[in-house]
Amino acid sequence: MTEPGNHLPLSPSNIAKAHTLIKPYIHHTPLLTNTTLNTIASTPQATSDLEGTSWEGQSPANPKIRFYFKCENLQKIGAFKARGAFHALLRLIEEKGEEEVRKRGVVTHSSGNHAQALALAGKTLNVPAYIVMPSISTPSKIASTQSLGAKVVFSGSTEPEREAVKKEVQKETGAIFIPPYDHPDIMLGQGTVGLELEGQYEALKGKDEGKSLDAVFTPIGGGGLNGGVATWFSVPSKEGRQKTLVFGAEPSFEGGNDCQRGLAAGKRVEFVSTKTIADGLRTPVGLHNWAVISDPSKVAGVYSVSDDQIKKAMRLVLERMKVVVEPSAVVGLAVCLFDEDFRRKVEEEGGQDGWDIGIVFSGGNTTVEAISALFTSK
């Protein structure tokens, strides 16, 4: 990665510069709406659905919600990760020069989406890419990474095991490490999701000047996407407009909600071990990312949902929107549908007008077999 002395500050202006840099290499993904999901979200949950939860015995919230879905599942390699990978590699070439970067190559460790993203960036920019992948990674993601020309080196599934293999690759090749999420260049690249989302929303609203998104949800794994999007929305886009609130969403299964737990404890959780179906969110939040996400002036809150709720949200997207997403992509939607604390917040603060909420579908890297297994398992 770029050296610490050359790190760009995390700011909306640097996200705009990042977008200019990567724009030739990425898709400008669509922003979709869906009346059916708006209606479902704006209907109180059944009292029976709250039984056995902390909200049992309470009157269900009755918010008014309108969704705007940023479809990064349609991004190159099927996930937002292409943005950060291209930005990081282009910045590295700017700093060290094409000759040195192409001579040494780049290396990372990733279970899937960042692996494919860096492989694509390397192929596009003619830079050798070495990808350390856990041997238990999804076969389709391994095959995709290899098909993009990267050399895949297998490791164990834990962070120490990945790191050890990565260091061996660096020792043998001199490759430069590009981390999956914990670096300003990655965060600035991912923050371009927020830039596009805001512009597309304003274009859809047309004459409704002075209106901004009330809130945006992104998933949180390592935190690069959430930290980048929160940086973009850290100040109102135009004078006189309300600030867009940024929220994060995580899976709660087996402690997958490390960010939520860390915020409650006032300290970043450094290790996570979960087999949640939201496999892209099984990593702890990075240091650079935590600095943004733990700042309440930038991230308004982090919520978590169960794997069952993730499956329900995913089914709605597949059946009602006809859009293919992976489980990690719908955690924000699941919060809006099922978390009574958040739904009550929208009801109380949004009133009769309700909230316009941006939902980032972070990726769609799944298979027919995986979807079938997910919905036929007991």
The model's confidence at residue 323, banded by pLDDT at 50, 70 and 90, is very high
The model's confidence at residue 377, banded by pLDDT at 50, 70 and 90, is low
pLDDT digits (tens, 9 = 90+) for 101-154: 999 999 999 878 999 999 999 999 999 999 999 888 878 889 999 999 999 999
Residue 188 domain flag: no
**Burial of 144: CB neighbours in 10 Å, binned 0-12, 13-18, 19+:** buried
Q: In this predicted structure, what is the pLDDT of residue 199?
A: 95
Q: In this predicted structure, what is the pLDDT of residue 211?
A: 85
Q: In this predicted structure, what is the pLDDT of residue 240?
A: 65
Residue 274 structural domain? 30-74+210-376
Residue 10 domain flag: no
Q: With beta carbons less than 8 A apart as the criterion, state whether 39 and 316 touch.
A: no
88 with 49, same domain: the answer is no
Residue 368 domain flag: yes
pLDDT digits (tens, 9 = 90+) for 71-98: 999 999 999 999 999 999 999 999 999 9
**What's the whole-number mean pLDDT along residues 18-22?**
98
**What's the whole-number mean pLDDT along residues 179-188?**
96
- Residue 55, pLDDT > 90, answer yes
Q: In this predicted structure, what is the pLDDT of residue 339?
A: 98
242 with 343, same domain: the answer is yes
Q: In this predicted structure, what is the pLDDT of residue 159?
A: 74
Name the packing angle between helices 81-96 and 113-124 (round to 10°).
40
Q: Which residues contact 48 (CB under 8 A, 6 or more apart)?
A: none
Q: In this predicted structure, what is the pLDDT of residue 141?
A: 83
Q: Count Cβ atoms below 10 Å from residue 260 Cβ, excluding itself.
A: 20
Q: With beta carbons less than 8 A apart as the criterion, state whether 157 and 150 touch.
A: no
Structure tokens belonging to residue 103 = 């001579």
Least trusted range by pLDDT, from 281-285, 317-321, 327-331: 281-285
Domain's final residue, options 177, 194, 222: 177
132 with 281, same domain: the answer is no
By annotation, the residues acting in catalysis are 81, 111
Q: With beta carbons less than 8 A apart as the criterion, state whether 79 and 218 touch.
A: no
51 with 86, same domain: the answer is no
pTM of the model: 0.95
Q: In this predicted structure, what is the pLDDT of residue 209?
A: 63
58 with 164, same domain: the answer is no
The structural domain count of the chain equals 2
* Contacts made by residues 17-20, CB under 8 angstroms, sequence distance 24+: 17/188, 18/87, 18/188, 18/189, 18/191, 18/192, 19/192, 19/195, 19/196
97 with 68, same domain: the answer is no
Percent of the chain with pLDDT over 70: 97
Rounded distance, CA 49 to CA 319, Å? 21
- Residue 158, pLDDT > 70, answer yes
Residue 172 domain flag: yes
Q: Which residues contact 122 (CB under 8 A, 6 or more apart)?
A: 89, 105, 106, 128, 129, 148, 149, 150
Torsion sign, CA atoms 232, 129, 325, 135? negative
Residue 13 domain flag: no
Q: In this predicted structure, what is the pLDDT of residue 157?
A: 76
> HSE-up of 336 (CA within 13 Å, CB side)?
34
Percent of the chain with pLDDT over 90: 85
Q: With beta carbons less than 8 A apart as the criterion, state whether 317 and 323 touch.
A: yes
Q: In this predicted structure, what is the pLDDT of residue 336?
A: 98
The model's confidence at residue 205, banded by pLDDT at 50, 70 and 90, is confident
Residue 139 domain flag: yes
CATH for 125: 3.40.50.1100
Higher pLDDT: 59 or 208? It is 59
Residue 24 domain flag: no
Domain's final residue, options 177, 198, 220: 177
- Residue 207, pLDDT > 60, answer no
With b for 16 or more beta-carbon neighbours within 10 A and e for fewer, the 331-358 pattern comes to bbbbbbbbbbebbbbbbeebeeebbbbb
369 with 321, same domain: the answer is yes
370 with 265, same domain: the answer is yes
Q: Count Cβ atoms below 10 Å from residue 206 Cβ, excluding itself.
A: 8
φ, ψ of residue 171 to 5 degrees: the values are -65, -40
Domain's final residue, options 136, 161, 177: 177
pLDDT digits (tens, 9 = 90+) for 160-183: 898 999 999 999 999 999 999 999
Structure tokens belonging to residue 252 = 């709660």
Q: In this predicted structure, what is the pLDDT of residue 160?
A: 84
- Residue 208, pLDDT > 70, answer no
Mean pLDDT, rounded, of the chain: 94
272 with 160, same domain: the answer is no
316 with 232, same domain: the answer is yes
- Residue 42, pLDDT > 90, answer yes
230 with 360, same domain: the answer is yes
φ, ψ of residue 357 to 5 degrees: the values are -120, 125
- Residue 6, pLDDT > 90, answer no
163 with 308, same domain: the answer is no
Residue 347 domain flag: yes
